[in-house]
Every structure is written in C-alpha cells, then in structure tokens.
Amino acid sequence: MDSIIGPRNESRKVARKSGSRRLFVLFTLLLASAIGVRSSAQGPLAHLSDDLFRHASSRSADRVRVIVHGSRSDLQALATRHRLTVVRWLDEGAVLRANAAELASLAADGVVDHLSGDPIVQTSMSISNKSTAADQTRSGTGGLLGIGAVPGVTGQGVGVAVVDSGISYHSALAYKVVANVSFVTGDSSTNDTYGHGTHVAGIIAGKSGVSPTSLYDSGIAPGVQLVNVRVLGARGTGYTSDVIAGIDWVIENRSRYNIRVMNLSLGHPVGEPSATDPLCEAVARAVGAGIVVVASAGNDGQSAEGNPILGGITSPGNSPFAITVGALNTWGTTDRSDDSVTSYSSRGPTKYDLAVKPDLAAPGNKIVSLEANHSYLSASYPVLHRAGKGNNQYMQLSGTSMAAPIVTGAVALLVQGTPGLGTAQVKMALQAGATYVRDGGLLGAGAGSLNTWTSRKIAANGLTSLTTTLLGGLTGASGATYWDAGTMSARLYSGVGLRLLSLLDLSRVWSNPSLLNVGDLNLVGPVNLLALVPTKQLLWGEVAGWTSDEQIIWGTTMYDDDGDQIIWGTSGDDDQIIWGTGTMTDPDPR
C-alpha cells in the first residue's frame, strides 16, 4: 500500500510501521498477562474481528459474545479448557462468552484461526411494479407460432424465505405463509411484533384485490410461498448468531419448501473480511446449496451532517455471494430518467475486501406495503399509516430494506420462468438487464436499476435480449453492466459497445474521470467524488472529527491536528495511516 502515498510521504513510512509495532506489542502484552509466554508450537494467534480486538485491548472484565467455528466436540473441549460457557450451538460453530483476558487466552489456544463478535443485527408498490417492469414480467408476451414467446410468471410454486422480524397475519398474505419458525434468543413467537418483516413480505408476495388504497396493488411475485424465519425481536434487532441459525435452518429445509430465494433486509457494521465474517460464511453456505441470497446494502450513505459516505455497505451485503441491493428514489414516476440513488443508501466498495457493491438498485423510498397490526412500528409511528384497519392496514417505509425484497420478488419470477437457473446465472441476468443510474455510478447503484422484464428475457433467451424495454409507456435502455468477481473486472455496456475494464483500469477511472471513454461508466457517478474531494467532506466512514483541512476517506472515529490525510484507519495521531488502527485523545473535545 505504500506505493499510493507518493515520494513526499516516504518519511512517514517508518512512523506507520512503528504504530503497527506498538499495536502488536500492546496485544502481545495483553496475551502475556493473561496466559503467560506460550510455546511457538501452539501456532499463530487467532485473528479477531474489530469489535473483539477493541474489547481485548480494553482489558475489560465484562464478557461479550464470541462466535467460534469448529466441530461440537472440539468446541466443547475448548470451552471446558478455558472454563467458558457455551450460550448457543450453531450448525458449524458455537457462541461463547468471554472477557478480555479470556479472549486473549482463546486467541492463543491454536485450535481456531479466527474469532468473531456476535454483534446486534438491525433492519436496514404500485409505482415499484411499473418502474421495475414487474407488471410486464407477470403478463409476459406472445410470439408468432410461439417463437420468441416469454410466458408471464408470478413466482408460483417458488419458496421464498423471509429472514426478518417475523410475519403477522394480513389479508394480503392469506394462505401465503407455509412455514413459521423463530430463532430469536429467548422468544419463540413467530409473530411480527416489530412490523418490519410483514412489510417486507408484502413487497415480495402480497396479493392484489384486497388493498383499500391505490398506493399498493400487489407484491412483485404474488404467486410465491413464503417461509417465515423470525430472527429479529420486538425492537427490530437480534444477535448475529440468531440470523446464522435461521439461515442454517433455511438450508436444511430448502427441499421441503422449494426455497429458491432468501431475503435478508438486515445487517451490522463490517468488522472483518467477508471470508471470516460468520454471517457472510452462512450466506456462502446458502448460495452453495443453490439458494439465491438477496441482501440490503445498508442505510449508511451519508453522515449526520449530510456528507456522502463511501464504504458503508453492511454485513452480509459485503458478501461476494449475496446479491446486494441499494435504494432508489423514483420520485413517484415510472420514468427512469429522474431516478436517483437515495442519500441514505450505502455505497461501496466494501470495507477490507474492496469489492464493488451494491450489485444493483431498486426502488426503496416511500414504499407502501403491509402494516402489521399492533406492531411496534405501527404503534410508535402512526404518521406512516396510509390506509386500512385491523389486519388489512398499509404503511409507508423507506430504506434498502424495502429495495431488497423488490429484487427478491424479481428473482422468484426469474426462477419460476427458467427453473434451471443457477445462483450465478440469476445474478448475471439481473445485472445485465439493469439500467445504469448516472448519479450513483457502480459504487452507488452497481449495474443499475432493476429491469425485471429485460432480465426475464435474458434468463429465457440469453444475452440476445439486450435491447430497450418499454417501462410504463416510456423507453428504458438496458445498462448491461456486471461485476465479475472471478476475473476482478467489470463489463460495461451502455448502448455504444462492450468494454472490459480490469481492476487496474477501474482504479484509474475512479481516481481520474478524464480517463473515461464515451460510454464508460464512472464508479461514483458523473462527478467523481474522489477526484474532486471538497474540504472537510466525509467520504468513507461513520463518524469523523476535524481540527484543520484534512480529508478523511475511510474510518470510524478520527482526529487529526496537523492537516494529514487519513486514507484507511480507525483513528490517527500525527501519522498518515494507510491501513490500520491507532488511538488518540480528541485534541478538541468541545
């Protein structure tokens, strides 16, 4: 990473290395104080996720939940050896409780290669049906003597797992839910006492003809069968291990309910690479089992001050196996020319992995769907109510949590129409059919805005269907942009031809928009935010503090008093941090 600093920063390399050594020494001393000097034959220290590293460094006696991978026999022996309690067993691991000293002891044991926290996970239609061409997909089209015909689909027979806060009874979901389970710690009810999961379920599968308002006509795929997997409690939160347990249940029961798609409108901040993130590992297992996993990108697109943030994709949206969805504002029209990425929608690339996310975008702003009667959201925010009463109420919500189920419904339509589609083929069809969103770029909207009808034709007939599509009486061109994680390249098509950009090309375009050719797609929109960084604008992180004119491009909390630029870190002193962590007292706590 030193090569990106430039010659003028050569003198700071030693300081950065020194800072890294200080952190290593700090943690080593912590380990030594907990367990003494250990033999080198015991193997390397286990990697800790960010939250566990902070807890271990704090020397706190408070115990936190720790997800450990391994067989039940090995983990039982591990817990016994360190006198720890197993609070939950998972299919491929367990959840332990450990304080700082016990974490250090676990990390030095040599049995596991990484330890992860168990953070709290949170929740992150009439216009939507037309603007995504779902209505056309359900209608289908004929052809001369049947040649070129694409039959209409509703998702009939396709099982969709809604891993969320539960699904309550609603008139628009009568006879739709075929299974109910709960994995919420300490709560076996499958009813949606929060109100989020019912709204999500209505976006996917609500039936027409029962709504008292024109603001909701039906879900995207009203023919599907819903599987209610409750993992979030009465306030819309739950442990990561609850979600993992729910995902593993879906995998085990996929054949019983023909589960082809799973919706995850939830997430937590990224604390480690996706390869070791337990939630991302569960997503990988599901996709490996043939289930298409659709995840919300998160709602961390801007700071409290209104400045844009890059790198805010949450877990499990950072998984390369998930289809990650950002949110669009359609401004109440079916015309795509005015669509824009919402300010709150999380943008990529993903932290640690630097993957291009989201994969595509769908309407997510002011989405009217089902309201769960007597739920927390219904009681706490009556202003969101739009129509109806009792078990036939409708409310309006916004977020990438609403955009993801629109894509989930679209996936159900595709797999009913072309049952042999694999998970990678579904993703390819969705991205190749999407329409590029100019103001969002690849890091805001991925391949672009969902175009279900074009994707349906691609799934049925191949890439020969890359043509314009009539959307609500208006013509929309396919963007045909998709990211190939295998070759680390992007294929870009915007009506003027196909161009393959390598990862190196992408980084050059990202830093210098003048390198764009006609028809190329900018990673961050028509105005390249990284080429023209305004003074004191937060671009990449969650919370930042400034005392001078520094520019901060990825961090959580940082303070700097000498004008340095912090490229990637958690907090910094007078060093320029290019990938790492550091600590410092706020120079101006006012």
Hey, which residues are catalytic here?
A: 164, 196, 401
Cα–Cα distances (Å) from 358 to 22, 299, 382, 436, 477, in that order, read 36, 12, 32, 13, 20
Strand order in the sheet with 93-98: 47-48, 114-117, 64-69, 93-98, 86-90
Angle ∠(382,385,386) on CA atoms, nearest 5: 155
CA distance 39 to 43: 8
Task: Mark 82-106 as b/e (b = at least 16 C-beta within 10 Å).
Answer: eebebbbebebbbbbbbbbbbbbbb
Cis omega (within 30 of 0) for bond into 316: yes
Q: Which amino acid is at 163?
A: V
Cβ neighbours of residue 14 closer than 8 Å, sequence gap 6 or more? none
Closest Cα to residue 181, out of 197, 163, 194, 160? 163
Cα separation of 415 and 421, whole Å? 6
Q: Which residues pair with 94 in a beta bridge?
A: 68, 89
Residues contacting 375, CB < 8 A, separation 6+: 168, 192, 193, 194, 195, 198
Q: Rounded to the nearest 5°, which phi and psi values hold at 456? A: -60, -45
- Supply φ then ψ for residue 27, to 5 degrees: -70, -35
Compute the CA torsion angle 439, 444, 446, 447 (nearest 10 deg): -10
